[in-house]
Amino acid sequence: MNLELRHLKVVCAIAETGSVTKAASQLGLAQPALTAQLQRIERTLGGPLFDRDRRGARPTALGELVLSRARVLLPAMKGLQDEAARLAAGSGPDTMSRYRIGAISGPVVAHLVHRLSATQPEAQISTHASYYISELSSMVLAGKLDYAQVGVCGDAIPSAEYGLVWETIGMDPVCVLMPEDHPQAKNLEVDLAELAEEQWVAGPGDGCFADCFAASCARSGFAPRRVLESDVRNCIDMVELGMAIGLCQPTFRAPAGLTSRPLRGAPLRWRVVLGWHPDSPAARSAPKLMAHAKEAYQEALARNENYMEWIRSQPQELAAA
């Protein structure tokens, strides 16, 4: 006979009541049936679990060992059943119980986590940060992530090498991040040619953006001076110190003392996309996540009053491009 959870419940009931007769009543069994079941359990385990006399049933050393394990296993199994029932009750054809989201910096992921936590409080949500599309894509392909939220330059899309589906969350002109007292900050937009003497700062990453930036500068008649590469926090610090200016998305929330302005004519654009593997369980929840992401993106844009004013001032075809 193989030992089962119901057998552990029998042992616990006898120990708790101190009597086979009382345990049988508690479990809704006849006393002879429970006695026979206890004997089978004892044969399986190789010895008596209780010393039984007129005063009741007291666990033997073997019985104490079995009880110590049963008191861990039974609550754990009950917890598993309860959690599974809760998740099943809250799930549907487009709902997952676990979301693993990888992302390059931006406002979308924070809003996604917030919205998922509100709509699915029982869901397990984890995030992973990286500067590199290739790293996040390979993690999705390997099943280590469910989704990757990344950014790409203009009309580009991430490499098809990983077999992921990519959908656009939003695309907008790139902005220049500068101190509020910078001479160009008084304008609603900035001509790239006016920044020919500036030093630039940028975060690491892959893709074609660096080449596209250099090409845009060349079309404006100059080659950019040294570009300092660092993490986002250090980039912000260097702009605050007046060492350099940077490029950012219009969704970027500039800290006090800094501001952002779109480049005139929108020579550079940045597309924010969400990717997943089409054969993964994540594919069924992708439409819901995309809806959350697009709403989050628009909310982040609306916080940038200067950018929204610039959008309203642009020809319709440029603003919608």
pLDDT digits (tens, 9 = 90+) for 112-170: 888 888 988 888 999 999 989 999 999 999 999 999 999 998 888 888 888 999 999 99
Amino acid identity, position 84: A
pLDDT for the residue numbered 227:
85
- For 75-104, give one letter per residue: b (16+ CB within 10 A) or e: eeeeeeeeeeeebeeeeeeeebbebbbbbb
pLDDT for the residue numbered 47:
93
What kind of architecture, by CATH, is found in domain 172-269? 3-Layer(aba) Sandwich (3.40)
Split at pLDDT 50, 70, 90, the class of 90 is: very low
Q: What percent of the chain has pLDDT over 70?
A: 94
Q: Are 235 and 105 in contact (CB under 8 A)?
A: no
Entry pTM? 0.67
Measured CA angle at 310 (ends 308, 316), to 5 deg: 95
Tell me the average pLDDT across 53-59.
Answer: 90
pLDDT for the residue numbered 22:
92
For residue 178, count other CB atoms closer than 10 A to its CB.
24
What residues does each domain of the chain span?
5-90, 98-171+270-304, 172-269
5-90 CATH, one of 3.40.50.970, 3.50.50.60, 1.10.10.10, 1.25.40.10:
1.10.10.10
- For 19-43, give one letter per residue: b (16+ CB within 10 A) or e: bbebbbeebebeeeebeebbeebbe
Mean pLDDT is lowest, of 7-21, 33-47, 90-104, 271-285, for: 90-104
Of residues 90 and 249, the one with the higher pLDDT is 249
Task: For residues 8 and 179, give the distance between their C-alpha atoms in angstroms, rounded to a whole number.
Answer: 69
Q: Are 194 and 222 in contact (CB under 8 A)?
A: no
Average pLDDT, the chain: 89
Q: Are 175 and 272 in contact (CB under 8 A)?
A: no
Asked whether the domain spanning 172-269 has the same topology as the one spanning 5-90, the reply is no
**What are the tens digits of pLDDT across the range 230-264?**
888 899 999 999 999 999 999 988 999 999 999 99
For residue 72, count other CB atoms closer than 10 A to its CB.
10
Task: For residues 9 and 67, give the distance between their C-alpha atoms in angstroms, rounded to a whole number.
Answer: 9
Q: Which residues contact 52 (CB under 8 A, 6 or more apart)?
A: 20, 58
Residue 64 has pLDDT above 70, yes or no: yes
Q: Are strands 124-129 and 98-103 parallel, antiparallel or unpaired?
A: parallel
Tell me the average pLDDT across 43-47.
Answer: 92
Residue 92 has pLDDT above 90, yes or no: no
pLDDT for the residue numbered 11:
93
Residue 222 has pLDDT above 70, yes or no: yes
What kind of architecture, by CATH, is found in domain 98-171+270-304? 3-Layer(aba) Sandwich (3.40)
Residue 79 has pLDDT above 90, yes or no: no
Tell me the average pLDDT across 52-81.
Answer: 90
Measured CA angle at 309 (ends 227, 190), to 5 deg: 30
Total residue length of the chain = 321
| Alpha carbon of residue 195 to chain centroid | 37
